[in-house]
Amino acid sequence: MSEKIKITLPDGSERQYDRGVTAMDIAKDISEGLARNVLSAKVNGEVRDALRGIDKDARLELLTWNNEEGKATMWHSSAHLMAEALEALYPGVKFGIGPAIESGFYYDVDFGDQQFDSENLKQLEDKMLELARQKNEYLRKEVSKTDALAYFQEKGDEYKLELIDELEDGTITFYTQGNFTDLCKGPHIPNTGFIKAAKILSVAGAYWRGDESKKQLTRLYGITFPKQKELNEHLEMLEEAKKRDHRKIGQELDLFTFSQKVGKGLPLWLPKGAILRERLENFLKKAQVKAGYDQVVSPHIGGKELYVTSGHYAKYGEDSFQPIRTPAEDEEFLLKPMNCPHHCEIYKSRPRSYKELPIRYAEFGTVYRYEQSGELHGLTRVRGFTQDDAHIFCRPDQVKEEFAKVIDLILYVFKALGFADFTTQVSLRDPDNPGKYIGKDEDWERAEAAIQEVANEKGLKTVVETGEAAFYGPKLDFMVKDALKRSWQLGTIQVDYSLPERFELEYTGSDNLKHRPVMIHRAPFGSLERFVAILIENTAGNFPLWLAPEQMSILPISEKYHDYAKEVFLLLQQKDIRGQVDERDEKIGKKIRDAEVKKIPFMLIVGEKECEERTVSVRAHGHGDQGSMSLNGFVDHFQGLVDELLK
């Protein structure tokens, strides 16, 4: 066996190294500066310790703080560092799980009889940094199941013992840094010295393994950075995020509410919120008509067999509401978790010819999924939500063209709503876990190739994520960064050969034989509820002019000018400019301030001069006095701004 192995770097270049070389060795060979920043490495697609040996030919990507996987490695290592600090400060504490999350990490802790509250956070942070400065290595060790159980039995940690019981012998690893050892599969950063700034963000309760019948542990959320400056910037961002919280702004602007009697995770849209939703829907419906879509409507429930056929019941049955049983024997319905099975049945309602394809069905369909109550969060995680769903049934030779048209539609939506900073994620299946998916290998290969080809032809900035595909097909997800540089998955397009097979969909080809169509799933908004939440936080409630529920407020200086104000209101209403007349007996200054707080784009002040000259004095939200305009002049000005946004 050769002692040399071939390492292929992301740029395609190849290097020869001795077997057992580490990613850190390779980083040092490339550049000492690079090595100082390497946190972990991706070896043949698997994220591993940078100090772990590589024993065969491999594709290698060195991960730094600039990579999401690099950040995740550091945050997972930081959870271990926090646990070490807790053991030093609170001897005898026990630990549940401590993963990295989207922004930071958490660890579930059993303090026993010891008290821990927010007053102890600074002490914990200081201890973490004290330990970090020791630059202790994270040492990986493979252990037998017997030894693993013995270690935590001696330590008296029943949580780790429960986790080890579920593991297979030969798959168990420990990691040690300093005086702390934990059950963990890794990976970890080379040493604690990379952690230069730490903050414990919050303290919460969490039942062990999410089971309300088990003990409630203390969940500590934290975050770390390689520089104090970056932590300071993150904390400033969090403060700004609190101001932009869609739940807070949604309440201030009277957009939506929740009711315990209606049920957790089931939003109630108030009149202004309903207007916002309607405008979003009408905006997309108009664009869809131009793009050749037909509107369809499907019921909120479907027979259980529908979702068994589609595969949704097997994949998502546990996340759905329980079946609805009727008086009829063996008759069961489900609140629909997806719209696509219904659309398959609409397609199947009569014979189809190749000349009809592509057929594009669109629906703002409300679906229901039983999310855990602890995971519900405002509009971003709900149990009932509306998808701007559409399904395109096309011939195989039409897939690329239809996929490209959907990309164009999503880009149009993003432009109109001010989402300029985004990347696209090509989500492929995990070849090592075929049981997660349905369908034939050759169909998956064709679908994955088509998505990547079209994305390249469109010049999209893409990343490829293996294992992130839907169970029925690969997809292209649009990852949008908001005003606070947070990343959200919004639009999605999926290519599906499997559902047409499962539902036995057909069309008659030019050869007079039966063929299977290909199905493209797409949703520019995704969940309308989640999209509105992101839009609120991105704009801080200052919606694009065409979308604002109240686009203007007419402010008469006194009661004498109420009649003229109403006349202006009716004229603008005829031009589809929405708003209200503020007839309150208040000084004009207060009316202006209140309109500013409500983020109303235009304030139209009317008094004696305006009444005589048939004009309005215009103020723009956040920009002050815009001068006097005739009524037609204001309408033209308003429409020009809207046209610019929607062109």
- Among this protein's residues, is 340 annotated catalytic? yes
d(CA 223, CA 201): 7
- Among this protein's residues, is 576 annotated catalytic? no
Selected catalytic residue, list 277, 342, 369, 383: 369
Q: Single out the residue of 81, 40, 67 nearest to residue 196, CA to CA.
A: 81
- Among this protein's residues, is 611 annotated catalytic? no
Selected catalytic residue, list 277, 312, 340, 381: 340
- Among this protein's residues, is 391 annotated catalytic? yes
CA atoms within 13 A on the CB side of 34: 15
- Among this protein's residues, is 312 annotated catalytic? no
d(CA 436, CA 456): 27
Selected catalytic residue, list 199, 219, 405, 475: 475
Selected catalytic residue, list 110, 157, 182, 389: 389
d(CA 474, CA 471): 8
In the numeric block, the tokens 């973490």 are attached to 128
Selected catalytic residue, list 272, 360, 391, 515: 391
d(CA 365, CA 383): 14
- Helix then strand count (H, E) for the chain reads 20, 35
d(CA 355, CA 400): 18
**Which residues pair with residue 176 across a beta bridge?**
139, 181
Q: CA torsion 445→451→456→458, rounded to 10°?
A: 160
- Among this protein's residues, is 521 annotated catalytic? yes
**Which residues pair with residue 205 across a beta bridge?**
218
Contact indicator for 619, 602 with CB cutoff of 8 Å: yes
d(CA 72, CA 4): 31
Selected catalytic residue, list 521, 530, 591, 621: 521
**Which residues pair with residue 174 across a beta bridge?**
141, 183
- Among this protein's residues, is 486 annotated catalytic? no
Q: What is the 3-state secondary structure (H, E, C) of 539-583?
A: HCCCCCCCCCCCCEEEEECCHHHHHHHHHHHHHHHHCCCCEEECC
3-class secondary structure, 491: strand
Report DSSP state, residue 137. B
Selected catalytic residue, list 52, 277, 312, 387: 387
Report DSSP state, residue 356. T
CA angle at 646 for the pair 645 and 647, rounded to the nearest 5°: 100
d(CA 557, CA 561): 7
Contact indicator for 187, 201 with CB cutoff of 8 Å: no
d(CA 74, CA 254): 41
d(CA 600, CA 506): 52
Q: Single out the residue of 564, 577, 538 nearest to residue 617, CA to CA.
A: 564
d(CA 89, CA 153): 22
d(CA 81, CA 134): 11
Q: How many residues comprise the chain?
A: 647
Report DSSP state, residue 323. P
3-class secondary structure, 465: strand
Please give the positions annotated as active site. Answer: 340, 369, 387, 389, 391, 475, 521
